[in-house]
Amino acid sequence: MAHGLPILVVEDDCALREAVCDTLELAGQTTISAAGGDEALQLLTRHAVSLVVSDVRMLPVDGIALLKEIRSRLPQLPVVLMTAFADVDRAVEAMRAGACDFLLKPFEPKALLEHVMRYRLPESLDAGGVIAIDPVTSNLLSLANRVAQTDATVLLTGESGVGKEVVARYIHQHSARHKGPFVAINCAAIPDSLLEATLFGHEKGAFSGAQNAQAGKFEQAQNGTLLLDEITEMPFGLQAKLLRVLQEREVERVGGKKAVVLNIRVVATSNRDIADAVAQGFFREDLFYRLNVFPLLIPALRQRVQDIVPLARYFLAAHGARAGRPGLQLGVSAEVALQRYAWPGNVRELENIIQRAVILAPGDIVEIDALHLAVEPRVGPTAGQRPPTLTPARTTAEPARSRQNDELRDVEREHILEMLAAAGGSRKLAGQRLGIPERTLRYKLRQYRLAGFLDG
Residue 209's pLDDT is what?
62
Q: 3-class SS at 420?
A: helix
Task: Say yes or no: 209 and 287 in one domain.
Answer: yes
The pLDDT, as a whole number, for residue 436 is 65
Q: List the CATH number of the domain containing 60.
A: 3.40.50.2300
**Same-domain status, 319 and 193:** no
Q: In whole angstroms, give the CA distance from residue 258 to residue 263.
A: 16
pLDDT of residue 186 exceeding 80, the answer is yes
pLDDT digits (tens, 9 = 90+) for 119-169: 776 554 444 457 777 778 878 888 888 899 999 999 999 999 999 999 999
CATH number for the domain spanning 243: value is 3.40.50.300
Instruction: Choose the final residue of a domain: 238, 263, 297.
Output: 297
Of 449, 362, 375, 386, nearest to 408 by C-alpha is 375
Which residues have CB under 8 Å from 445's CB, separation 6+?
Answer: 416, 420, 427, 454
Q: Is 289 exposed, middle or buried (0-12, 13-18, 19+ CB in 10 A)?
A: exposed
User: CA–CA separation, 351 vs 54, rounded Å?
Assistant: 29
Whether the pLDDT of residue 171 is over 70: the answer is yes
Alpha carbons within 13 A on the beta-carbon side of 179: 1
Instruction: Report the pLDDT value the prediction gives residue 354, as an integer from 0 to 100.
Output: 94
Give the end-to-end CA distance of the chain in Å, rounded to a whole number.
60
The yes-or-no verdict on residue 377 having pLDDT over 70 is: no
**pLDDT on residue 61:** 82
Residues 23 and 89 in one domain: yes
Distance from C-alpha of 75 to C-alpha of 66, rounded to nearest angstrom: 12
Whether residues 90 and 164 share a domain: the answer is no
pLDDT at 437: 65
Mean pLDDT of 277-301: 93
168 within 8 A of 267, measured Cβ to Cβ: yes
Whether residue 180 lies inside any domain: the answer is: yes
In this structure, the answer to whether residues 114 and 165 fall within a common structural domain is no
The arithmetic mean of pLDDT across residues 430-446, rounded, is 71
d(CA 87, CA 405): 53
302: burial class by Cβ within 10 Å (0-12, 13-18, 19+)? Answer: buried
58-67, 244-253, 400-409: which has the minimum mean pLDDT?
A: 400-409
Residue 347 has pLDDT above 90, yes or no: yes
Same domain, residue pair 189 and 105? no
Model confidence at 433, pLDDT cuts 50, 70, 90, reads low
Instruction: Band the pLDDT of 429: cuts 50, 70, 90.
Output: confident
267 shares its domain with 333:
no
Question: Is 128 within a domain?
Answer: no
The set of residues, in sequence order, having a beta carbon less than 8 Å from that of 363 and lying 6+ positions away, is none
Average pLDDT, integer, range 397-415: 57
175 and 268 co-located in one domain: yes
Structural domain includes residue 178: yes
Picking from 143, 152, 140, the residue whose alpha carbon sits closest to that of residue 176 is: 152
Whether 20 and 56 map to the same domain: the answer is: yes
* Rounded percentage of the chain residues whose pLDDT exceeds 90: 32
Full residue range of the structural domain in which residue 335 is found: 301-371
Answer yes or no: do 163 and 261 share one domain. Answer: yes
**Domain holding 352: CATH number?**
1.10.8.60
Least-confidence region, from 83-92, 257-266, 369-378: 83-92
**Residues 222 and 235 occupy one common structural domain:** yes
Radius of gyration of the CA atoms of the chain, in A: 25
Is residue 146 domain-resident?
no
- For the chain, what is the domain count? 4
CA proximity to 239, closest of 190, 302, 196, 298? 196
Q: Is residue 105 situated within a structural domain?
A: yes
pLDDT of residue 382: 41
pLDDT band of 46, cuts 50, 70, 90: confident
The C-alpha angle with vertex 411 and arms to 408 and 414, in degrees rounded to 5, equals 150
Burial class (CB in 10 A: 0-12, 13-18, 19+), 410: middle
Residue 174 confidence (pLDDT) above 90: no
Same domain, 287 and 356: no
Query: Worst-scoring range by mean pLDDT, 151-160, 182-191, 399-408?
Result: 399-408
Beta-ladder partners of 254: 202
pTM: 0.59
pLDDT value, residue 91? 61
The string of pLDDT tens digits covering residues 71-91 is 777 766 788 888 875 556 666
Strand-pair partners of 46: none
- Give phi and psi for 444, each to the nearest 5: -65, -40
The answer to the question of residue 129 being in a domain is: no
Percent of the chain with pLDDT over 70: 82
DSSP string, 141-188: HHHHHHHHTS---EEEE-STTS-HHHHHHHHHHTSTTTTS-EEEEETT
- The residue from 70, 100, 121 where one domain ends is 121
DSSP for 278-295, please give it.
HHTTSS-HHHHHHHTTEE
In a domain, 348, yes or no: yes
What is the band of 381 on the pLDDT scale with cuts at 50, 70, 90?
very low
Contacts of 173 (CB under 8 A, 6+ apart): 127, 128
* Residue 54 belongs to a domain: yes
Instruction: Please identify, among 371, 391, 409, the residue that sits at the C-terminal boundary of a domain.
Output: 371
pLDDT of residue 65: 86
